[in-house]
Amino acid sequence: MQTLSTPPTAPDASPRNPKIEASKTEEFVPTIIRRKTRSVSVGDVSIGSSHPVAVQSMINEDTLDIDGSVAGIRRLHEAGCEIVRVTVPSMAHARALTEIKAKLAQTYQTVPLVADVHHNGMKIALEVAKHVDKVRINPGLYVFEKPSSDRTEYTSEEFASIGQKIQQTLEPLVISLRDQGKAMRIGVNHGSLAERMLFTYGDTPEGMVESALEFIRICESLNFHNLIISLKASRVPVMLAAYRLMVKRMDELGMDYPLHLGVTEAGDGEYGRIKSTAGIGTLLALGIGDTIRVSLTEAPEKEIPVCYSILQALGLRKTMVEYVACPSCGRTLFNLEEVLHKVREATSHLTGLDIAVMGCIVNGPGEMADADYGYVGKQPGTIALYRGREEIKRVPETEGVAQLIDLIKSDGRWVEPDAEAEITVETESATVQADPVGAGI
C-alpha cells in the first residue's frame, strides 16, 4: 500500500505576508521581457530591438501577374500586414518586381517587400535585390547539391569544399544588400536541409541551427549584419527546439540577430491556427521572436488576424479591444453569448480598451482582470456597469449596452467608428499605430 508522507508545512501564504508579496513581485513580472536583438530595417519597418513584433505574410499570386500581385499586396497591407513576401522563381519574376513596386507607389503606397529565392538562385537574387527591401534565401537550396542515393558520408574536405562554393555564391548578394542598406533573411526549413547537413548533424534542430550559422558567418565575414533568421518546421516541437537552440548558440557566439517565427505548412482552419499559436506563442512568451508569419492554407489575409490575436493575447501589441468574458454557468443572469456579441458590435473599434462582460456579481467583479469597464449581471433583469472595480450604476438589462456606451462617452473615451484609424495605442514595448481596419479580429 502506498504511504503518503505528511506534506511539508506550507509557508504562510497569506497575501498580507510582506515577504511573500515582495518575492512574488520580484519573480513574476506579468510582462514578457524580449530577448535583446539588433534592429534591422525592411523598408520603413524596423524589426528587432524594442520595435513591436512585426506581422508579415506572402501573396499567392504569380509574380508575373503584375496587376494580380499589386492587388494581393495591397489586400494584405490593408488587412494590417506590415511586410509582404513574393516568390521569385525566375529572372523574369525578379524583373517583374520593378513594375510591381512602381504600380504600388502609383496606385496605393510603398509597401516593404521581400523576395523569396530558391534553388540555385544566385543570379535571380542579385537581380531582385535591386527591387525589394529584403531577400530571403533558404540555405538548404541556395547552392543546391542533388542528393545522391549511394552516398554514405561527407568527408570533412567535401563538407568544407561545398562551404567554399556557398561562400563564393553568396558573396555578391551579401555585398549588394550590404551596400544598399537592405536586409536578408536566412530562412532554414526543416524539410529542406542540405544533404551534407543531414549527413553531418542528422535531421535535427542542430542541423537547422548549424545550417543558419554557416550562412551567418559568411555574412559576418563581409561585415553584413542586416540579418533576420528563421528555423521553421511543420512539427511544433521541432520548431520550438530549433529556435531555442539557435538562441542559445547565438548567445554563446555574441550574435544578436532578430528572429522570424513561423510554423510552416500549418494547414487550415482551427487546427492550423492552434498549431501556429502553439509554436509562435510559446516562443514569444519566452521573449523569443521579432517578426511572425502564420502560414495557413487559406487566403493570405486570413493569417493577419491570427497574428494580431497572438500578439494581443501575450500583451505584445494592442490592436483591438480586449474582451474579458466569463464562460457562464448556472449563476448567469442573462444570455451571455448574445450580450457579448452586442457589446462587441458596439465597441470593437475602441482599440486599446479592456471591456468585461460577466454573468453575475458573485465572481464577476473580482474576475474582470482590471478591465476598464464591466457589464455584470446584478439580479434578474438588472445589470451593473463598472468603471474599473467601481460599480457606477445599475440599469435595466434592456438598456445595458446603450448605457455602457454612454458611460464610455461620459469618460471621454469614445470615438466614432470612422475615426478609429487616428487612435494610437501605447504598449509596454512600443507605440503601435492602431490597426486601420479594426482587422476584424
Which positions make up the binding site for [4Fe-4S] cluster? Answer: 326, 329, 360, 367
Q: Does 212 bind ligand SF4 (CB under 6 A)?
A: no
Q: Work out whether 402 is an interface residue with ligand SF4 (CB under 6 A).
A: no
Nearest residue to 432 (alpha-carbon basis) of 46, 29, 85: 46
Applying CB under 6 A, does 360 fall inside the site for ligand SF4? Answer: yes
Answer for which of 358, 384, 401, 404 binds ligand SF4 (CB under 6 A) is 358
% helix / strand / coil in the chain, to the nearest 5?
A: 45, 20, 40
Our finding on whether 331 is near ligand SF4 (CB under 6 A) is yes
CB of 335 to ligand SF4, least distance (A): 12
Q: What is the DSSP letter of 221?
A: H
Give the closest residue to 189 by CA, choosing from 128, 245, 144, 238.
238
> Quick one: how far is CA 434 from the chain centroid?
16
> Least distance in Å: CB of 328 to ligand SF4?
6
Cross-strand partners of 356:
324, 374
Residue 332 interacts with ligand SF4 (CB under 6 A): yes or no: yes
Three-state DSSP at 376 gives strand
- Least spacing, CB of residue 408 vs ligand SF4, in Å: 22
CA distance linking residue 151 with residue 281, whole number of Å: 40
Q: How far is the CB of 376 from ligand SF4 (least distance, A)?
A: 8
Site for ligand SF4 contains 355 (CB under 6 A): no
DSSP strands (E only) in 59-100: 83-87
Of 359 and 400, CB closest to ligand SF4: 359
Residue 374 interacts with ligand SF4 (CB under 6 A)? no
CA–CA gap between residue 215 and residue 58 (Å, rounded)? 23
The reply to whether 365 sits near ligand SF4 by the rule CB under 6 A is: no
For residue 419, count other CB atoms closer than 10 A to its CB.
Answer: 10
H-run or E-run covering 114:
strand 113-117
What 3-state class would DSSP assign to 296?
coil
Question: According to the binding rule CB under 6 A, does residue 364 interact with ligand SF4?
Answer: yes
Residue 362 lies near ligand SF4 (rule: CB under 6 A): yes
Q: Which is nearer to ligand SF4, 60 or 332 (CB)?
A: 332
Q: Looking at residue 259, what DSSP letter applies?
A: B
End-to-end CA distance of the chain: 54
Which segment (30-38, 73-81, 131-139, 320-328) binds ligand SF4 by CB under 6 A? 320-328
Residue nearest to ligand SF4 (CB): 359
56 binds ligand SF4 (CB under 6 A): no
| Cβ-based nearer residue to ligand SF4, 95 or 344 | 344
The span of 210-218, 239-247, 316-324, 360-368 binding ligand SF4 (CB under 6 A) equals 360-368
Query: C-beta of 429: minimal distance to ligand SF4 in Å?
Result: 32
**Closer residue to ligand SF4 in complex, CB, 49/332:** 332
Closest distance of CB 4 from ligand SF4, Å: 33
Q: Which stretch binds ligand SF4 (CB under 6 A): 175-183, 196-204, 227-235, 323-331?
A: 323-331
Pick 18 or 330: Cβ nearer ligand SF4: 330
Burial class for 184, CB neighbours closer than 10 Å (0-12, 13-18, 19+):
buried
Q: Which one of 7-15, 107-115, 329-337, 390-398 is the stretch in contact with ligand SF4 (CB under 6 A)?
A: 329-337
Are 256 and 250 within 8 A, CB to CB? yes
Report the nearest approach of ligand SF4 to the CB of residue 39 (Å). 44
Say whether residue 409 binds ligand SF4 (CB under 6 A).
no
User: Do residues 116 and 88 make contact, with C-beta atoms less than 8 angstroms apart?
Assistant: yes
**Cα–Cα distance measured from residue 372 to residue 385, given in angstroms and rounded to the nearest whole number:** 11
The answer to whether 326 contacts ligand SF4 (rule: CB under 6 A) is yes
Please give the helix or strand (H or E) that residue 161 lies within, else none.
Answer: helix 156-180
Cα 107 from Cα 94, distance rounded (Å): 21
SS3 for 424? strand
Positions touching ligand SF4 (CB under 6 A) are 326-329, 331-332, 358-360, 362-364
